[in-house]
């Protein structure tokens, strides 16, 4: 089914991606991620001594601060913080540095749709830049469901507002390893088939949701490739002082 999107992309086409790491000087790790017009800046400080009151001191703790572009911090920002925190807690190896806090600060520079997935991608790259130990990367994508039943990926803000439902999906990145095939499987399935986070808005049927998952998984392979190329290129960085 051919779909006409306003900017001429096809159903499964992502917007142009751009990512740069190590852009801030005081932060231990930083990254800027842009998908089309949506741009997010993430900075990481850590690990710092001590955990917060209600956190488990036997593990490392992750603290997320979400800063919107303008205006006060309200409930949507708190929700984003919580989702980011849970996603990043599941990809970081929390047992390496117990009783420490790693802070991740996300700043929205421009919001043109798919804001939370961009933030998750930016936060992941910032963690890599800071050298925080992780099991694998998180690759986030937004899938929208229109009234007529077709699914589009990576919507702009206008498209998001017109859609019946949309889902933010986070997958582990695709694995390229020298180990034998079978050893990296979890319960018989390859790692990249798993889902780390899924947030949905609006009503969709179960079949539609699984279709979104399929499309999202296929797109996450493309995103993983982009991440891999980006990380390999920027492997020679100037050292940070102070």
Partner 1 sequence: MDARLANTWRLTLNEKNFIKTALLSEIRIDGRKPFEFRNISINFGREDGSAEVQLGQTRVMGIVTAKFVQPYRDRPNEGTLTIYPEFSPMADPSFEAGRSGESAVELGQIIDRGLRESRAVDTESLCIVAGKLVWAIRIDILILDNGGNLVDAANIAALAALMTFRTPECSLGGEDGQEVIIHPPEMRDPLPLILHHLPIAITFGFFIDENVVVIDPIHNEEAVMAGRMIATVNANGDICAIQKAGEGVSQRVIMQCLQLAITKAADITKQIKAAVEAYNSERALQKIKRETTCVGNSVKGDQNQTLDNKGISELVGKYMERLKLISVESYASKILMLRKSNH
What is the distance between the alpha carbons of residues 241 and 24, in angstroms, rounded to a whole number? 11
Span interacting with partner 1, options 150-158, 188-196, 202-210, 211-219, rule CB under 8 A: 150-158
CB closer to partner 1 out of 183 and 239: 239
Residue 172 burial (10 A CB sphere; 0-12, 13-18, 19+): buried
Q: Is position 196 an interface residue for partner 1 (rule: CB under 8 A)?
A: no
Q: Is position 201 an interface residue for partner 1 (rule: CB under 8 A)?
A: no
How far does CA 83 lie from the centroid of its chain? 10
The distance of closest approach from Cβ of residue 32 to partner 1 in the complex, given in angstroms and rounded to an integer, is 10
The distance of closest approach from Cβ of residue 189 to partner 1 in the complex, given in angstroms and rounded to an integer, is 29
* Contact present, 39 and 110 (Cβ < 8 Å): yes
Residue 235 burial (10 A CB sphere; 0-12, 13-18, 19+): exposed
Q: Is position 14 an interface residue for partner 1 (rule: CB under 8 A)?
A: yes
- Summarize as ranges the residues that interact with partner 1 (CB under 8 A): 2, 4, 6-10, 13-14, 16, 24-27, 30, 37, 39, 41, 43, 45, 48-50, 65, 67, 69-70, 103, 105, 107, 109-110, 112, 156-158, 242
């Amino acid at each position: 089914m051919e779909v006409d999107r306003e900017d001429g992309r096809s159903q499964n086409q992502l917007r142009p991606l751009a990512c740069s790491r190590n852009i801030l000087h005081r932060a231990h790790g930083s990254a800027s991620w842009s998908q089309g017009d949506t741009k997010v800046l993430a900075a990481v400080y850590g690990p710092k001594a001590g955990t917060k009151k209600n956190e488990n001191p036997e593990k490392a703790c992750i603290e997320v601060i979400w800063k919107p572009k303008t205006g006060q911090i309200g409930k949507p920002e708190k929700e984003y913080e919580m989702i980011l925190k849970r996603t990043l807690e599941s990809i970081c190896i929390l047992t390496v540095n117990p009783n420490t806090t790693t802070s991740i600060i996300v700043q929205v520079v421009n919001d043109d749709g798919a804001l939370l997935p961009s933030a998750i991608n930016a936060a992941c790259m910032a963690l890599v830049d800071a050298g925080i130990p992780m099991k694998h990367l998180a690759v986030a994508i937004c899938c929208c469901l229109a009234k007529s039943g077709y699914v589009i990926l990576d919507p702009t803000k206008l498209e998001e507002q017109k859609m019946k439902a949309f889902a933010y999906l986070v997958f582990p990145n695709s694995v390229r390893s020298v180990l034998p095939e079978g050893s990296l499987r979890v319960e018989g399935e390859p790692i990249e088939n798993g889902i780390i986070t899924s947030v949905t808005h609006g009503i969709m049927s179960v079949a539609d949701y699984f279709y979104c998952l399929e499309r999202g998984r296929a797109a996450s392979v493309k995103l993983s490739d982009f991440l891999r190329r980006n990380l390999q290129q920027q492997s020679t960085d100037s050292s940070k002082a102070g």
